[in-house]
Amino acid sequence: MRKKRYFTLEKRLSIPFGIKLAVPLVSIVAGFLFSAFFLVISGESPLEVYSVMLDGAFGSAYGLSETVVKMIPLMIISVGVAFAFKMQIWNAGGEGQLHIGAAAATYVVLHLNGCSRFVTILAAFLAAFICAGIYGLIPAILKVKWKVNELITCLMLNYVATFLIAWLIQGPWKDPSGFAFPRTRKFPASGELTTLFDTRIHTGLLIGLAIAVILWFVISKTRWGYEIKLIGAKEKVARYAGVSVNRNILLVMFISAGIAGVAGMVEVCGITHRLQANFAAQIGSSGMTIAYLAQCHPLGAVLVSFLFGGLLVGGNTIQKLGLPVSTVQMIQGSILIFVAAGAMFTNYKIVRKERRLGHD
Amino acid sequence: MAEATVQMLGIRKQFPSVLANDNVDFTAYAGEIHALLGENGAGKSTLMSILTGVLQPDSGEIRINGETASIRTPKDALQHGIGMIYQHFKLVKPFTVAENIVLGDGNVRVLKKKKLEAQVKALSERYSIEINPSTLVWQLSIGEQQRVEILKVLYRNANILILDEPTAVLTAEEVKELFVTLRKMTENGCTVIFITHKMNEVMDYADRITVLRDGRLVKTMTKAETDEKELAKLMVGREISMGRRNTTDTTTERELLRVQELTVLNDKKLEAVRKLSFSLYGGEILGIAGVSGNGQKELMEALSGLRPAVSGTITLKGENITKRSVRQRISDGVAFIPEDRYGFALVRELSVADNAGIKAYRLPEFSRGGIVSYKKLTKQAEDFIEAFEIKTGGPKSLVQSMSGGNAQKLILARETATNPDVILASYPVRGLDIKATESIHQILVKEKERGAGVLLVSEDLDEIFQLCDRVAVMYEGEFMGIVPIGQADLETIGLAMSGAARMEGDPNA
């Protein structure tokens, strides 16, 4: 009887903490090695490129502060969508919800002249959260009432929101003294988030960290969090245990979308100080990637957002080295692919098996 | 007698946990309708899957029209003229009847619609199957879809037709029409084999009958040689192997659950439970015997609140709970051990402690001010493991690493932890070994001795006789009578299970 050896993937019964940490790190290194191959082909020294990249993102106070600046909206939106992902509700509408939140905040700030900064920011926060939350209820209601797939409606609503904002800033909300630029008036000082440590870092960082900690607490400690985890683990069992799945879909989508809206609010109040075209390019899709990589853990999302911010800032630095944008994107892309694909090894391990071949 | 078209000799098929076919001989002739009768798990489907090439036998021989045949795939089977109609249809809904019939026929390169529809029309007329070849399949009723399936195999020149419980999804009128068609086919020289556990169909339509039980051939006979009583006995067969385990009569006057005129729909929106009325008293185990698929699942889901009642009322301890949510019913004292252990009651990927806590987490003992004490949930799981002797790596180990018996013990530990008044248990020992079965039964008896009312759905008559104080038989959404266990015997239960006769007995005795 012949034997055939082969390798197969087997699900891990439990995931050691070391694996959780080692897998993404090894994946990042593998991504850099993979890109190094292409850098060598195009005549660059990978070592030099990487050291400039690393130095640009984390090596100086300025670089570090810029990394944090990029991290803030990513962190907030990823924590938001991760909350819905935790329940297996695929909120792919972060991008649209972020735009609605930014628009709501802009409206409030531009119409609350004369209020204190605290009141203005609080009002902008609430407006962004509630408007984006309601926007997120649209796919949730469609799902609960008619079982419409939320992934599709969310993606479609992204277009609706971004084009709505494009219309606003080129039409009714356009700054009359802004020449041809599609953007609103500049915010009054009371509508700007306070900056920290003399950098571009703003208090949005604290808002985001607070949201992440609160959601971590909700998920891991509270009764409601228990229900959310149970629904995420298996909806049928949750129904059997007497958990109202539909109510939770509505509630969680509202909050998830609301938080994504806050990401838009901190970006306009903290960085651009007005609503303008492309103020949040790619944040929505990156938010989903981060949530996935962080395995929907709110504090994990904070960490991954920081690395993501570093990747963006580091990418900008090597562009100054004279590398084409496409090379920069290639490095960013391959790191992402390796990290995303490598995540499989967190849940699975490779085992070697033997199969006996019967008759031949 | 006509020529034997199908001969299966000494067929044996071993699955990892059961011997599904043990040295089974089976013969069918041209021009006959042959019923293959037996309870669930008797080995009927396995035998037919072997004949159609879906499964390979471990040993045994198949002869088709007298010649030894090697059937390794359903395609081989079709080449020998063997076609199978499954219980769940394999049709492409947006396609027309004719398109579905020709689908998968490798000889067709170009689809000539008109010609094809004419062919199908001629074929359907030959067997008096009423169908319009150009209708889209999604517009057809279930009965009509089945006709398409039949035409599909006839189109491929099958002359040995196997139907797996063909009437399970049909209305009474459709059943009649189906057998008119099948009779027409036998008149044209076909062999028709149908798998069933319904006595009336066997007696009304079959020419010969083969009874299987526990993987073995019991007897093959013509209809004239037998009657319903004998068939029921052959089907259920065995003597009660073990004595009664539930010996004390603890039934009280306390009416815990009253069900009145309850009607419930299944997933296909057909009536699965029909105007059912009964009461469950404290301290008793009421057994619901019957072949599964007769509304047991829908009844239990309706009682637990997972499935809405179309009409009728459910009264728990004097209060109408018909409209109450699952959550309310759980706190009112209804526990549920569902038949699909891993589909409903457990999450394989979560730990023992998490699974133990899915109902308890919201109780005041385990959470205060909205904060869950995971420590207390873990402690609870430890208590369960000890009290119910659950074999596991501890509260943190995953349920998927546990055996079925231990997983079921975990469910029972959880469901009985709050001392519920009503325990709904569906097939609680299905697939478990003797030892695990024993402990699950002990738990149920202990619960009834505590004063709970237990509603036990089971297909296993041994289990019913060992445990129950009263027994009801469910058939097509109705009870064929409820009798005290002392007044029940195998024969009457067997007849009631196949819908042949009601159980008579004085329910107050």
Q: Pick the residue from chain B with its C-alpha nearest to A240.
A: B344
Confidence grade of residue B125 (pLDDT, cut at 50, 70, 90)? confident
Region for residue A56 given its phi and psi (left: phi exceeds 0; alpha: psi -120 to 50; beta: otherwise): alpha
**CA-to-CA separations, A133 to A110, A279, A353, in angstroms, rounded:** 21, 20, 50
CB B153 within 8 A of CB B83: yes
B chain contacts of residue A224, beta-carbon cutoff 8 Å: 370
pLDDT tens digit string along A259-279?
A: 999 999 999 998 888 888 888
| Partner residue facing A223 (CB), from B330, B347, B370 | B370
B chain contacts of residue A218, beta-carbon cutoff 8 Å: none
Two structure tokens written together for B392: 């596991």
Confidence grade of residue B253 (pLDDT, cut at 50, 70, 90)? confident
Segment B137-165 mean pLDDT: 86
Any domain includes A360:
no
Say whether A241 and B338 touch across the interface (CB within 8 A). Answer: no
CA of B376, closest CA in chain A: separation in Å? 13
A 237-256 near B (Cβ less than 8 A) = 237-244
CB B420 within 8 A of CB B334: yes
Say whether B367 and A241 touch across the interface (CB within 8 A). Answer: no
| Partner residue facing A242 (CB), from B327, B345, B346 | B327
| Partner residue facing B401 (CB), from A13, A225, A243 | A13
Say whether A222 and B371 touch across the interface (CB within 8 A). Answer: yes
pLDDT tens digit string along A221-274?
A: 999 999 999 999 999 999 999 999 999 999 999 999 999 999 999 999 988 888
Spell out which chain B residues touch chain A, with contact meaning CB-CB distance below 8 angstroms.
Answer: 304-306, 325-330, 336, 338, 343-347, 349-350, 354, 357-359, 361-362, 367, 370-372, 396-398, 400-401
B chain contacts of residue A234, beta-carbon cutoff 8 Å: 347
Segment B342-358 mean pLDDT: 90
Dist CA B241 CA B214 (whole Å): 14
- Name the residue with tokens 């735009």: A99
Region for residue B48 given its phi and psi (left: phi exceeds 0; alpha: psi -120 to 50; beta: otherwise): alpha
Say whether B306 and A233 touch across the interface (CB within 8 A). Answer: no
| Alpha helices, DSSP H, located in B311-403 | 326-332, 352-356, 374-387
Any domain includes A34:
no
Q: A114-121, long-range: CB within 8 Å, 24+ apart, which pairs?
A: A114/A190, A115/A190, A116/A190, A117/A189, A117/A190, A117/A191, A117/A192, A117/A194, A120/A188, A120/A190, A120/A191, A121/A190, A121/A191, A121/A193, A121/A269
| Partner residue facing A241 (CB), from B328, B358, B372 | B358
CB A132 within 8 A of CB A258: yes
Check residue A141 and give its pLDDT.
94
Q: Pick the residue from chain A with its C-alpha nearest to B350.
A: A233
Say whether A225 and B398 touch across the interface (CB within 8 A). Answer: no
Q: Where are the beta strands (DSSP E) in B169-318?
A: 191-196, 208-213, 216-222, 255-265, 271-281, 285-289, 311-316
Which residue, among A60, A19, A20, A52, has the nearest Cα to A331 in the 3D structure?
A52
Pairs of CB atoms within 8 A across A/B: 62
- Name the residue with tokens 């939140």: A101
ipTM associated with this complex = 0.79
3-state SS, one letter per residue, for B435-481: HHHHHHHHHHHHHHHHCCEEEEECCCHHHHHHHCCEEEEEECCEEEE
Say whether A226 and B343 touch across the interface (CB within 8 A). Answer: no
CA of B349, closest CA in chain A: separation in Å? 8
Dist CA B363 CA B351 (whole Å): 19
Check residue A338 and give its pLDDT.
85
Any domain includes A319:
no
B chain contacts of residue A237, beta-carbon cutoff 8 Å: 344-347, 358
B chain contacts of residue A14, beta-carbon cutoff 8 Å: 396-398
Dist CA B96 CA B34 (whole Å): 31
Check residue B300 and give its pLDDT.
95
The count of structural domains within chain A is: 1
Check residue A217 and give its pLDDT.
95
Dist CA A298 CA A192 (whole Å): 26
Say whether A242 and B361 touch across the interface (CB within 8 A). Answer: no
| Partner residue facing B347 (CB), from A224, A234, A244 | A234
* Strand (E) or helix (H) holding B161: strand B160-164
Say whether residue A358 is in contact with chain B using an 8 A CB cutoff: no
Q: A152-155, long-range: CB within 8 Å, 24+ apart, which pairs?
A: A153/A93, A154/A90, A154/A91, A154/A92, A154/A93, A154/A96, A155/A92, A155/A93
A chain contacts of residue B303, beta-carbon cutoff 8 Å: none
**Residue scoring higher pLDDT (A139 or B138):** A139
Check residue A358 and give its pLDDT.
43
Interstrand relation of B367-368 and B271-281 (parallel, antiparallel or unpaired): unpaired
B chain contacts of residue A225, beta-carbon cutoff 8 Å: 372
CA of B347, closest CA in chain A: separation in Å? 7
CA of B447, closest CA in chain A: separation in Å? 21
Predicted structure pTM score: 0.74
Say whether A240 and B327 touch across the interface (CB within 8 A). Answer: no
Buried b (16+ CB within 10 A) or exposed e, B136-146: ebeebeebbbb
Whether residue B149 has pLDDT greater than 70: yes
| Partner residue facing A223 (CB), from B345, B359, B372 | B372
* Strand (E) or helix (H) holding B183: helix B172-187
Check residue B240 and give its pLDDT.
46
CB neighbours (10 Å) of residue B75?
12
Any domain includes A62:
no
Residues 6+ apart with CB under 8 A from A123: A108, A112, A115
Say whether B347 and A237 touch across the interface (CB within 8 A). Answer: yes
| Partner residue facing A226 (CB), from B336, B344, B372 | B372
Segment B355-380 mean pLDDT: 90
Whether residue B287 has pLDDT greater than 90: yes
Confidence grade of residue B507 (pLDDT, cut at 50, 70, 90)? very low
Two structure tokens written together for B451: 């004063």
Two structure tokens written together for B122: 């001629």
CB B140 within 8 A of CB B148: yes
| Partner residue facing B346 (CB), from A224, A237, A244 | A237
Type of residue numbered B158: A
Any domain includes A35:
no
Segment B383-397 mean pLDDT: 88
Dist CA B35 CA A65 (whole Å): 80
CB neighbours (10 Å) of residue A3?
8
- Name the residue with tokens 């619960």: B447
A chain contacts of residue B326, beta-carbon cutoff 8 Å: 239-242
CB B171 within 8 A of CB B16: no
Length of chain A counted residue by residue: 360
Any domain includes A184:
yes
| DSSP-derived secondary structure letter, B501 | -
Say whether B330 and A242 touch across the interface (CB within 8 A). Answer: yes
Say whether A240 and B372 touch across the interface (CB within 8 A). Answer: no
pLDDT tens digit string along B19-39?
A: 888 899 999 999 999 999 887
Give the structural domain span for A150: 73-297
CB neighbours (10 Å) of residue B95?
16
B chain contacts of residue A242, beta-carbon cutoff 8 Å: 305, 325-330, 359
Say whether A240 and B345 touch across the interface (CB within 8 A). Answer: yes
CA of A242, closest CA in chain B: separation in Å? 4
Any domain includes A26:
no
| Alpha helices, DSSP H, located in A174-282 | 204-221, 223-233, 235-240, 245-267
Burial class, A31, CB count within 10 angstroms (exposed 0-12 / middle 13-18 / buried 19+) = buried
Whether residue B505 has pLDDT greater than 70: no
| Greatest Cα-to-Cα distance within chain B, rounded to the nearest angstrom | 80
Dist CA B159 CA B152 (whole Å): 12
Segment B237-259 mean pLDDT: 75
Which of A15, A17, A234 is the best substitution to test chain B (most B C-beta atoms within 10 A)?
A234
**CA-to-CA separations, B173 to B138, B176, B481, in angstroms, rounded:** 20, 5, 25
A 149-208 near B (Cβ less than 8 A) = none
Whether residue B239 has pLDDT greater than 60: no
Say whether A237 and B400 touch across the interface (CB within 8 A). Answer: no
| Dihedral sign for Cα atoms in the order B431, B433, B434, B439 | negative
Coarse DSSP helix, strand, coil percentages of chain A, rounded to the nearest 5 percent: 70, 5, 20
Which residue, among A327, A313, A330, has the nearest Cα to A64 in the 3D structure?
A313
Q: Pick the residue from chain B with its C-alpha nearest to A236.
A: B344
CB A154 within 8 A of CB A288: no
In the predicted model, residues of chain A with pLDDT beneath 70 are 1-3, 11-15, 353-360
Q: How far apart are the first and last CA of chain A?
A: 8
CB B353 within 8 A of CB B396: yes
Q: What whole-number percentage of chain B has pLDDT above 70?
A: 94
Whether residue B468 has pLDDT greater than 60: yes
Dist CA A226 CA B412 (whole Å): 21
Segment B441-452 mean pLDDT: 92
Q: Pick the residue from chain B with its C-alpha nearest to A237.
A: B344
Coarse DSSP helix, strand, coil percentages of chain B, rounded to the nearest 5 percent: 35, 25, 40
**CA-to-CA separations, B198 to B40, B195, B497, in angstroms, rounded:** 11, 9, 8
Type of residue numbered A104: A
Say whether A233 and B349 touch across the interface (CB within 8 A). Answer: yes
* Strand (E) or helix (H) holding B134: none
Q: Pick the residue from chain B with its C-alpha nearest to A220.
A: B372
To 10 degrees, the CA torsion angle through A52, A54, A60, A63? 100
Any domain includes A337:
no
- Name the residue with tokens 């570090």: A64
Phi, psi of B480 (to 5 degrees): -90, 40
Whether residue B331 has pLDDT greater than 90: yes
Say whether A240 and B362 touch across the interface (CB within 8 A). Answer: no
Question: What's chain A's average pLDDT?
Answer: 86
Interstrand relation of B422-426 and B334-337 (parallel, antiparallel or unpaired): parallel
